[in-house]
Structure 1
Amino acid sequence: MRRGVLAGFFALCLAACTAQPPAPPPSNPATPAAAAAAPSQSHTTIKPEDLASYDRTATHSGNLLPVAGVARRAPFDTDAAIGSDLAFTGNYAIAGNYEGFIVYDISRPERTSIVSQVYCPGPQNDVTVSGDLLFLSVDSPMTGPSCRSPMALDAGWEGIRIFDLADKRSPRYVGAVAVPCGSHTATLVPGPTPEAVYLYVSSVPTHQGVTPECEAHKGKIGVVKVPVHDPAKAALVGEPVVLPDGGTPLQRLSYGGCHDITVFTARKLAAAACIGDGLLLDIADPEHPKVLDRIQDPQHFGYWHSAVFNAAGTRVVFSDEFGGGLSIVCDPKTEPGYGGDGIYDIVDRKLKLRGYFKIPRPELEPETCSAHNGSLVPVTGRDIMVQGWYEGGASVIDFTDPAHAREIAYFERGHSPAEFGGSWSAYFYHGYIYSNDMLEGLDVLQLTGVPFAEPATTQLNAQTQ
């Protein structure tokens, strides 16, 4: 989860430096007509020939076949429109974008098509769904919660925007929740009753030392409670401390804090990737999570980014976003350094390291990559996941033997003609793998030779297992 262009603070810098804000907001800060805002003319349109050239660089293993690709279109065809995370509800995929979000019809995956696009700038705009509700994570100061609000020069509104997706062709803005230090990612946590759901909000302190809100929020996560039938009344109900010392700084950062949280609901557990720390949490009381274990690995991890549990909830894979995808650290040449995955078993509610994984393809240079967002691939008796690695592409990993995890399939493009490119997120849903390329758009991939055992699902947020 939801995650920066290339790491939290790198992403925000890129978005701020390449985009001018849209027109000033109207007097009503909660403008429902999100699509009415128009992108700034200062944005540079990505040339179709550059996209075509980039697309021709695609390669893949014989068992991971591209069956569809939906390229970006206006207003998401500019250098400011960076594709971010994915979520799924019914026969639809929702793709976040620094400029808003896109709704795709995936009822026939080979004919995936765009249903609607909502222009609503707010980096990163990571997406989380719950039924007909969509939550957008905004981790850059804006002058207000409206989709027409420009970026603020200093302190401003940050948090969660909420949309009603009942009509996929015309999503409707219904409200917003301010969160101290913003929402880098938001993880859906089911409530004890169906009347409400929770969001665990990770606020990577990209403005550390600049805003009092970020200083006061160090070591905390935000807990937002959403009444399902009245989402406009969603509110921040807690800021539990999970890192009493503020977190371990890494990669020459002067701060710590949580970047991404994945919950395993059946066991009431959560794995939190917190820049310099990996946490295991007890979430039996969703408003008051408790830390069960805290680990560091400074020799192998430079920026703890995200986590994926196995199907039993007894193993977790943490990813390292060292360099934020701006360096080449995910391949064998930097073994056993940074930019890959660490695989941990959960033993007596503690994390025990079992092994590491990196992409085995040595020909990646000059492509830039590090581990990023992935999800479990449901296979009986085996632990398999798919993961986005920026320009390292989408990799399918068998980690059944955690000491010898191996890549069993891949899809990648070459080096991007723009400042960004590659797979931000790669997730398995309803028999297919969907990868959101930050430059190109949505890729639909079919994995063969693997006996899927997917339970009946009508929704997927990869960070809610």
Structure 2
Amino acid sequence: MFPLRRSIVVAAAATALALAGMPASAADIPPPDAVVTSPNVTHVLNIPKPAPIAATINTDIAFQGDYAYVGNYGGFSIYDIRNPKRAKAVSSVVCPGSQMDVSVYGNLLFTAVDSSRNNDSCSSTGQSATIKESWEGVRIFDVSDKANPRYIKSVETNCGSHTLTLVPGKGRDKNKNVYLYVSSYLPQADFPDCQPPHDKISIIKVPLRNPTEAAVASTPVVFPDGGNETQPGLLVPTTGCHDITVYAEKDIAAGACMGDGVLFDIRDRLNPRVTARTTDPNFAFWHSATFTNDARKVVFTDELGGGGAATCNEATGPNRGADAIYEIVRGKLVFKSYFKIPRYQADSENCVAHNGSLIPVKGRDIMVQAWYMGGLSIWDFTDASRPREIGYFERGPRSDGSGGGIWSAYYYNGYIYGADFNEGLDVIKIDDRLTDGARHVRTDRLNVQTQESFPGGGHGGGHGGW
């Protein structure tokens, strides 16, 4: 391991450069496996992956009460985080199927499977999607007993479920049903259950009193005239959405749809309606979206290289593989600027904008975000035209030469949690005057793709889950 004193010096130097608006040079890349942070960030704890799923990579995180639910290509794990400094794994469920995007609601955990399986069971094996009987979609678990989760239902969806977004019901429906917006893509003519052009999402209705009755209730077409398919530099043409973030109390959603950025009206939960759409010549793959608390801005991420390439280097530059900040003006998306971490990574490190969440600070727009082997970045975009990094955590290149890094980084009740491909779950703390206002903001649940307003944070109003 890299000596602590030396790592602090490197971190302080990189932070000084970042605050000055200058990119760190290649000379500032940490030694292999070294943990480095900005001076305002502390690495509180690392919890290695539990043995049953240690061989497969960590992915997404959901939170409820005193527990974190961490997805993994091999299944998922539940962690007790009531004392973040002593967080520990409670259980692991072996149930393979990428990517295991997760959302939690009450006693139900929803997991996304986007790899074709020979059946829907947890003992299934991979099988070609050209076989009609193959399965992929959503699995539902009862997690009322955290030590012994129970698999209670599967729902097959066209082209599987790369990601899923939990959408609460509204009005009289509010306490009766939840909905899952299922994003999937890459149809193929010889896939019986994933036929082109696909350009749609699947919506699963889950009756809360009888979740085993969950079923696909609607398959609205997002791009009736086709999506962005011809732009040079696209990773793949638009054939659906990669990820959708809903702001249910405002009846809006933002879709990151491969080659397109989209706004939806979701007043009718089963029939979301596209209200705005944009493209960007610098974007290769619209990956995810985050609204500000007042819903006047939205951040879209670009997964240049599909997450497997080194794009945080000088050769790639600051405007590709970055975040794009848009203001929402009279219902339209108005581009303001890009943000990319100002710390160059080695050419051996896969690094690109990935999953993050707001830090609930009144009157400011601050986000924590994963960047794979770029670690996690804490950045302020209150001024949408001049975003800046205010803190970070990262590891140096892996000594074995392999890839990995932090898939998801989310703020929950005073701490930041990062799901690292290989290293497990990291617990991190930021101590900074810009984020101190979030210290006493508490919520009972956090599904990042289901955004809820936090108190006093701009013009959003309401408390949602915070």
TM-score bucket (shorter structure): 0.7 to 0.9
- What's 1:463 paired with? 449
- What's 2:279 paired with? 296
Distance 2:122 2:273 in 1: 35
Mapped pair 1:77 → 2:54 = yes
Shift of 1:407: 0.6
One-letter amino acid of the counterpart of residue 256, structure 2: A
Q: Would you say the 8 A contact 1:367–1:415 is kept in 2? A: yes
- What's 1:235 paired with? 215
116, 140, 152: which is aligned to 2:91?
116
- Bigger drift between 252-261 and 393-402 goes to 252-261
Distance 2:391 2:188 in 1: 39
SS in 1 for 2:277: strand
37, 58, 72: which is aligned to 2:35?
58
Distance 2:150 2:384 in 1: 44
SS in 2 for 1:266: helix
- Bigger drift between 242-251 and 355-364 goes to 242-251
- What's 1:319 paired with? 301
139, 142, 148: which is aligned to 2:117?
142
The 1:225–1:460 alpha-carbon spacing in structure 2 relative to 1, beyond 3 Å, is same
Distance 2:289 2:448 in 1: 10
- What's 1:104 paired with? 79
Distance 1:403 1:439 in 2: 35
Q: Would you say the 8 A contact 2:197–2:239 is kept in 1? A: no
Q: Would you say the 8 A contact 1:131–1:459 is kept in 2? A: no
Q: Would you say the 8 A contact 2:81–2:87 is kept in 1? A: yes
258, 281, 306: which is aligned to 2:241?
258
Distance 1:175 1:55 in 2: 43
SS in 2 for 1:136: strand
Distance 1:238 1:120 in 2: 27
The 1:316–1:306 alpha-carbon spacing in structure 2 relative to 1, beyond 3 Å, is same
160, 168, 177: which is aligned to 2:146?
168
Q: Would you say the 8 A contact 1:181–1:217 is kept in 2? A: no
Distance 1:420 1:229 in 2: 43
Q: Would you say the 8 A contact 1:341–1:356 is kept in 2? A: yes
CA deviation string 1:414-463 (max 9, x = no partner)? 22336431010000001100000011100000011122346441111111
342, 352, 355: which is aligned to 2:324?
342
1:359-370 to structure 2, matched below 5 A, reads: 359-370=341-352
Shift of 1:255: 4.7
Shift of 1:62: 1.1
Distance 1:254 1:120 in 2: 31
- What's 1:188 paired with? 166
Shift of 1:338: 1.5
Q: Would you say the 8 A contact 2:290–2:299 is kept in 1? A: yes
Shift of 1:240: 0.5
Distance 1:456 1:403 in 2: 30
Count how many residue pairs are aligned between Structure 1 and Structure 2.
Answer: 409
Shift of 1:76: 1.7
CA deviation string 1:335-381 (max 9, x = no partner)? 34421100001111111101110110125443221101010111011
One-letter amino acid of the counterpart of residue 408, structure 2: S
419, 427, 430: which is aligned to 1:447?
430
- Bigger drift between 445-454 and 314-323 goes to 445-454
The 1:285–1:138 alpha-carbon spacing in structure 2 relative to 1, beyond 3 Å, is same
- What's 1:223 paired with? 203
Q: Would you say the 8 A contact 1:55–1:440 is kept in 2? A: no
- What's 1:328 paired with? 310
Structure 2: give runs of 5+ residues left out of the alignment: 1-29, 452-466
SS in 1 for 2:306: helix
Distance 1:247 1:306 in 2: 17
Q: Would you say the 8 A contact 1:82–1:439 is kept in 2? A: yes
SS in 2 for 1:75: helix
Distance 1:283 1:418 in 2: 45
Shift of 1:238: 0.4
The 1:365–1:63 alpha-carbon spacing in structure 2 relative to 1, beyond 3 Å, is farther
Structure 1: give runs of 5+ residues left out of the alignment: 1-52
Q: Would you say the 8 A contact 2:256–2:300 is kept in 1? A: yes
One-letter amino acid of the counterpart of residue 138, structure 2: I
The 1:308–1:178 alpha-carbon spacing in structure 2 relative to 1, beyond 3 Å, is same
Shift of 1:331: 4.7
- What's 1:153 paired with? 128
The 1:314–1:170 alpha-carbon spacing in structure 2 relative to 1, beyond 3 Å, is same
Shift of 1:70: 0.3
The 1:301–1:222 alpha-carbon spacing in structure 2 relative to 1, beyond 3 Å, is same
One-letter amino acid of the counterpart of residue 386, structure 1: V
101, 107, 118: which is aligned to 1:126?
101
CA deviation string 1:73-98 (max 9, x = no partner)? 322222xx111101001100000000
Distance 2:341 2:235 in 1: 25
244, 261, 269: which is aligned to 2:224?
244
Q: Would you say the 8 A contact 1:225–1:234 is kept in 2? A: yes
One-letter amino acid of the counterpart of residue 170, structure 1: N
One-letter amino acid of the counterpart of residue 67, structure 1: V
269, 279, 286: which is aligned to 2:262?
279
The 1:98–1:55 alpha-carbon spacing in structure 2 relative to 1, beyond 3 Å, is farther
CA deviation string 1:172-216 (max 9, x = no partner)? 1111111111000000111022110001000122x5344133225
One-letter amino acid of the counterpart of residue 339, structure 1: G
Shift of 1:143: 1.2
- What's 2:378 paired with? 396
CA deviation string 1:225-258 (max 9, x = no partner)? 1011211100100000111134223535255320
Q: Would you say the 8 A contact 1:246–1:257 is kept in 2? A: no
One-letter amino acid of the counterpart of residue 184, structure 1: H
Shift of 1:153: 2.5
One-letter amino acid of the counterpart of residue 204, structure 1: Y
- Bigger drift between 387-396 and 365-374 goes to 365-374
Mapped pair 1:353 → 2:339 = no
Distance 2:238 2:260 in 1: 12
1:428-439 to structure 2, matched below 5 A, reads: 428-439=411-422
Q: Would you say the 8 A contact 2:319–2:338 is kept in 1? A: no
- What's 2:184 paired with? 203
